[in-house]
Amino acid sequence: MAKASGKIFGFDSHKSIRTDFLETIPYKGETQDITFETDELSAVCPFSGLPDFSNLNIQYVPNKHIVELKSLKYYLISFRNVGIYQEELTDRIYKDMKNLLKPKSIRIETNYNVRGGIFTTCVIDSEKAKK
């Protein structure tokens, strides 16, 4: 048996997620769709302690505010050592962004790297939630 078999690495709690990093900018322009994409989102699987890597797509229609990008980057980095399941991470980002921006609509999609031969995609869309 491999020496690493059964090894679990430690991870941080959800309290380490830094929503206080998020900042907004007032927006008074025309209605538009805004999309942010990154392939640098990572967190830790609380079951195995191994890292989960994901592509993240945030789409929203602003109401009165837009998110400041550097603050978004720092917020996303704060997930790096947090033990959180993939579905929970998607839900957490959705709720944090919705609470911060109060947008007309918002959609969060995470596409995780393959784990055990299974690709995982999680999507939360405020338009579907209204129905």
Catalytic residue numbers read 45, 52
Q: What is the DSSP string of 7-69?
A: -----B-GGG--GGG--EEE--S----EEEEEEEEEEE-TTT--EEEEEEEEEEE-SSEEE-H
- 6: tokens are 């059964």
- Kindly provide the b/e burial profile for residues 24-62, where b requires at least 16 CB atoms within 10 angstroms of the residue's own CB: eeebeeeeeeeeeeeeebbbbbbeeeeebebebebbbbb
Q: Quote the CA–CA distance of 112 and 103 in Å, as a whole number.
A: 25
